[in-house]
Structure formats: C-alpha cells, structure tokens
Amino acid sequence: MRALNFFRKSTDRKATAKAGARRSGRVGAFLRLMRAYPRTGFAAAIALLAVCVGLGSIAAAQFGYIDLLKQESSRYVRQTLLDLGLSVRSVTVAGRAQTETTEILDALNVAVGDSILHADITAAQQRLAKLAWVKRATIIRKLPDTLHVEIEERRPIAIWQIDRRMVLVDYRGAPITEKDVPEYVHLPLVVGKGAAEAASDLLTMLSRERWLQRRVAAAIRIGGRRWDLRLQNGIDIRLPEADPQTAWRVLAAYEAREGLLGRDVEVVDLRLPDQVIVRLSEGRVRRIGPQGREARLSRNPMRRWS
C-alpha cells in the first residue's frame, strides 16, 4: 500500500523504509482484524479512511492542494478498499427467467476486481430497467465482494399482431419483445391498431366465461372501438362497443342451452342491444331457401331460434 505525504518528500531512506514497514504492519493488522471480526474490521477500515481523508482535506485547504488531494485521495481510497478485500468477486441474480445473463452483466458494467463500494448502483439499475424483459431491478452490495441483483420480469398476457409483426405485450399493452414469441404461442392473439392497450380489459371480460374463452382463437380490434372474435371453428363473433360484457354473457347462455356455435353458422352479431343476428353458412342458406341469410333471435336465451 502506498501512503501519501502532502507536505514534503522524505530524503532519509532508512526513515522511509521504517515508515513503509510500519504502514505494512498496520495494513496486515487490519486484514487480520477483518478476518477475525468482519464487521469490526469493516468499521475500523472506514474509520481509518475517514480520518485520513479528513486530515488530508485540512492540509489541502491550508496549502492549496485541492486538485492533488482529489486525485491522490481517490486513488488511495480505492487501493485501500481493494487491499481490504472490498472488490467485486461474484455477481448473483434472482428472479431471472427470460433476461439473458450477458445482458445483466453488460448493464452492471463492472469487472472482477473493481472496488465494490465505487460501483455506480443507481446507473446500473437504470440500465437494467431498460432491458426488454425487466420491469424492476434492485442491486444490493453484499460486502465484502458480492453484487446481488434482484429482477422482477414483465409478464406477457397476449401476442399482438400489427403490420405483420408479432409482439408480446404486458397488461398495460406495452410491447415486450418480438424475439421470444414462439415460446408463448399459448397466449391469446389480438390483432389491429389499439388492440394491445385494450387487451387486458378484453381478457378479463372473456375470463368470466372461461369455458367459452378457450374457444377464441383471435380478437380483432375494429376501429379502435370494439372487438370481433374469431373462434377456433371459424365463426366470427361481433361484440358491441357499449357493454360487450353483457353481449358475451348472452352468447354464453345461448351456447350452453342451445349449442348455437355448433350449428351451420358463419357470424353471430351481438351489436344490437335487443336481438342477436345469426348469419348462416352457405350450405344452411340453400336449405332455408329464399328467406335470406340472416336469422334474428331474441336475447331471451330460453327461446329457441330454429
């Protein structure tokens, strides 16, 4: 360890050698103290540094060596901390599932052997928060030599299709990433402008009839105002802009009591408040003849529609 003399350089080699031996002995004593009593050792080290910096500040202020003090004291403190074992030796991470390890290390921007007390935790947390999957990140110094990173990742709720792109989105509708979409093909697909932001409310509504929700293949946002649902068997369900929850409940009632969605149906239009309009398939049209392609139903699910 190198000690600083802010006043004058000694010309006595013997005196310098003795002083170096004393300093070496003091450092050795501190290191032994830290091994035996870690907390006491750290406290003593910090106290020593505070005294040295304080005395140096007084001397520098008196003799005008402020710039020299800043440079030398910073170098002295860093080296002292490293000599005391306060350097980065390992990084531990909790909560990581999708975030790559290399991304985390790059965001930390620390190397093995760096002073652990000089690591810029705030800046590193801000860099971590910019990673695609990271919702929140916390970094904890575990003295003497470990940085512990705790990550809360964002949870995708849907796949958003927009302009031929597929993007994972969270409950706020914020895009997460396009890269990992194949891992989440089980999530519902929402399509169109504004679909991502409205997806959370839609999924909450559909989940109230979960058995029917499982038959929905995709949800298409129409004009930024309402939804069309495409079922797995190709039937389109047109939901109203106002009170889509009631319309969804009516559809579930018809299906539960009369098996509406298992018939020759192309479209079920629920946009009118007092009736359900069912557009039949081409084959069914031919069977019913000149009456046209639309059969009108009462919203009373107890009334049969055919």
- pLDDT tens-digit readout, 101-137: 999 999 999 998 888 888 899 999 999 999 999 999 9
Among residues of the chain, what percentage have pLDDT more than 70?
A: 64
The enclosing H or E element of 62 equals: helix 38-63
* Residue 29, pLDDT score: 53
Confidence of residue 298 (pLDDT cuts 50, 70, 90): low
From CA 66, how far away is CA 71, in angstroms rounded?
Answer: 9
Rounded average pLDDT over 195-223: 97
Say whether 158-298 and 90-153 share the same fold. no
Q: Could you tell me where the beta strands, DSSP code E, fall in 2-154?
A: 90-94, 134-142, 146-153
244 cis-preceded (ω within 30 degrees of 0):
no
pLDDT of residue 190: 98
Stronger pLDDT, 221 or 44, i.e. the higher one: 221
**Is-contact 267 238, C-beta < 8 A?**
yes
Could you tell me if 76 and 115 are in contact, meaning their C-beta atoms sit under 8 angstroms apart? no
pLDDT for 118 equals 85
Provide the pLDDT for residue 299.
55
Q: Which long-range contacts (CB under 8 A, 24 or more apart) does 197-205 make?
A: 197/172, 197/173, 198/173, 198/227, 199/157, 199/158, 199/160, 199/169, 199/173, 200/157, 200/171, 200/172, 200/173, 202/227, 203/157, 203/158, 205/244, 205/245, 205/248
DSSP 164: T
Task: Rank 49-53, 81-85, 171-175, 272-276 by mean pLDDT and report only the highest.
Answer: 171-175
Within 8 A by CB and 6+ apart from 8, the residues are none
Flag whether pLDDT at 57 surpasses 60. Answer: no
Q: Where is average pLDDT lowest: 22-31, 87-96, 241-250?
A: 22-31
Here the tokens at position 147 are 């940085």
The answer to whether 152 touches 135, Cβ cutoff 8 Å, is yes
Instruction: Provide the CATH topology of domain 158-298.
Output: Rossmann fold (3.40.50)
Q: From 3.30.2310.20, 1.10.240.10, 3.10.20.310, 2.40.40.20, which CATH number describes the 90-153 domain?
A: 3.10.20.310
Work out the pLDDT band at 302, boundaries 50, 70, 90. Answer: very low
> What's the pLDDT at 280?
86
38/145 Cα distance (integer angstroms): 12
Mean pLDDT of the chain: 78
Q: What's the confidence (pLDDT) of residue 217?
A: 96
Taking the whole predicted model, whether its pTM rises above 0.75 is answered as no
Asked whether the predicted pLDDT for residue 52 surpasses 80, the reply is: no
> Residue 205 has what pLDDT?
97
Q: 107, exposed or middle or buried, with CB in 10 Å at 0-12, 13-18, 19+?
A: buried
On the question of pLDDT at 216 being above 70, the answer is yes
Q: Where does the pLDDT of residue 3 fall: very low under 50, low under 70, confident under 90, or very high at 90 and above?
A: very low
**Residues 97-106: tens digit of each pLDDT:** 999 999 999 9
Domain boundaries along the sequence of the chain = 13-83, 90-153, 158-298
Q: Please, which pLDDT band fits residue 40 given cuts at 50, 70 and 90?
A: low
pLDDT > 90 fraction of the chain, expressed in percent and rounded: 52
pLDDT tens for each residue of 252-283 = 998 998 888 988 899 999 999 888 899 888 76
pLDDT at 284 over 70: no
Q: What confidence tier does 67 reach under pLDDT thresholds 50, 70, 90?
A: low
Q: What mean pLDDT do residues 206-211 have?
A: 96
